[in-house]
Amino acid sequence: MAILIPLFVAGAATVALLAALVSQYGFDLQPCVLCIWQRWPYLAAIALGLAAFVLHRNATLARVLTGLAILAVLVSGGIGGFHVGVEQGWWEGTSGCGSTSGATDLNALRAQIMNAPIVRCDEVAFSLFGISMAGWNLLYALGVAVVAIRAMLMKTEAGPGA
């Protein structure tokens, strides 16, 4: 297996997370619950991709870890696709949409509500060319997965010595 494929997946996942963090902290686009959920699989993809890179001498294990990293990227894209459906009104969001509360008592909840904006999952905070950030995440994840899978298949067809 080409040693660069897991690094590509980990790097692409890092870029996606950095874009989300820059939009949040640099442009004050506060994330909703589904936005946060889309970030977790990218963290897993980074860890799995780096593990595959480190363990590349065990080709089977590296292939499995890279496949899992690609799957994690696709999970993020799937959550993004679900989020697009919520934004478009095709289906309802989760029970957490509209609330990101982690408060453990009434006073903590009151303080959180008073100090934080409520971000709804069904409202598009930002779009580019008519596509929301969740939509871009879906397209990005699909693109990353297609490139990585194609590279893995090309490497497999070339043979073990290639």
Q: pLDDT-based confidence at 126, cuts 50/70/90? A: confident
Domains of the chain, CATH where assigned: 4-93+122-158 (1.20.1550)
For the chain, what is the mean pLDDT?
A: 84
Buried b (16+ CB within 10 A) or exposed e, 96-121: ebbbbeeeeeeeeeeeeeeeeeebeb
Nearest to 84 by CA among 146, 129, 139, 30: 139
Q: Is the pLDDT of residue 146 over 60?
A: yes
Q: Is the pLDDT of residue 76 over 90?
A: yes
Q: How far from 37 is each of 110, 154, 156, CA to CA, in Å?
A: 24, 32, 33
| 3-class SS string, 69-103 | HHHHHHHHHHHHHHHHHHHHCCCCCCCCCCCCCCC
Q: What is the pLDDT of residues 6-40, one digit of tens each?
A: 999 999 999 999 999 999 999 888 888 888 899 99
Percent of the chain past pLDDT 70, that is, above it, reads 83
